[in-house]
């Protein structure tokens, strides 16, 4: 029997430990495995979990949504509008790890740079022509012009955008591997946060003056209800 101080035995132990430590971790799923057939979200529950509590009484309407069939109103600041079919509008999606959206764009409309921290996105063009792209963490732009019938993927968490480059309206259907992918619009996140991101931070980050920062903040501030 080998002695604990035997050099060969020590090398074997070191290699074994290093192998365990360096092995890649198991892939992390977007949602845990289901423990029941369905878990329709109780959007009124005060229980806070990674998802929503399950409600006791469900119906077919919890799994139904017809909001993706018609164009949305693109008379917005950016000339685009997103209609989401996620757990907030389709409670039956709770724990299922998928959702969809429809995005409509007026001519020249843009879905400004943003991220989805909890999902990869894949868009399918229904109509029109779009300039799309995403940025890697090495600041490399991956961009392409896509048209009706084309699909394009935006990796999870990376900043991306779409712009209608045609003369007519454009629309896409987006698919996500999360029931609630979340959206952080870069400009709104930085310039319309509550409380405010300090102006000194923004002037330093963007290498502009206080007046420019204040002007952007005023334009992106939420409209007050009257």
Residues of each annotated binding site: 111, 114, 116, 121, 160
Annotated binding site for oxalate: 111, 116, 121
Distance CA 79, CA 74 (A): 5
Q: 21: part of which helix (H) or strand (E)?
A: helix 7-22
Q: In whole angstroms, how far apart are CA 125 and each of 121, 133, 151?
A: 13, 14, 6
Annotated binding site for Mn(2+): 114, 116, 121, 160
* Cβ(172)–Cβ(77) below 8 Å: no
Q: What share of the chain is helix, strand, coil (3-state, %, to 5)?
A: 20, 25, 50
């Amino acid at each position: 029997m080998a002695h604990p101080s035997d050099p060969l035995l020590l090398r074997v132990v070191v290699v074994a430990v290093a192998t365990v430590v360096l092995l890649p971790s198991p892939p992390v799923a977007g949602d845990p495995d289901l423990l029941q057939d369905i878990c329709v979200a109780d959007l009124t529950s005060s229980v806070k979990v990674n998802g929503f509590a399950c409600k006791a009484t469900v119906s077919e309407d919890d799994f139904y949504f017809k909001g993706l069939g018609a164009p949305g109103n693109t008379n917005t600041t950016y000339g685009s509008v997103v209609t989401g079919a996620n757990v907030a509008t389709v409670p039956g999606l709770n724990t299922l790890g998928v959702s969809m959206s429809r995005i409509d764009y007026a001519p020249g409309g843009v879905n400004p740079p943003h991220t989805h921290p909890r999902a990869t996105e894949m868009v399918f063009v229904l109509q029109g022509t779009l300039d799309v792209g995403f940025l890697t963490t090495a600041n490399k732009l991956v961009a392409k012009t896509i048209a009706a019938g084309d699909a394009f993927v935006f990796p999870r968490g990376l900043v991306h955008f779409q712009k209608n480059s045609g003369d007519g309206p454009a629309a896409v259907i987006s698919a996500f591997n999360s029931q609630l992918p979340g959206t952080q619009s870069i400009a709104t996140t930085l310039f319309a946060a509550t409380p405010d991101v300090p102006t000194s931070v923004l002037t330093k980050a963007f290498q502009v003056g206080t007046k420019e920062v204040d002007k952007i903040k005023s334009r992106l501030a939420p409209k007050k209800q009257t």
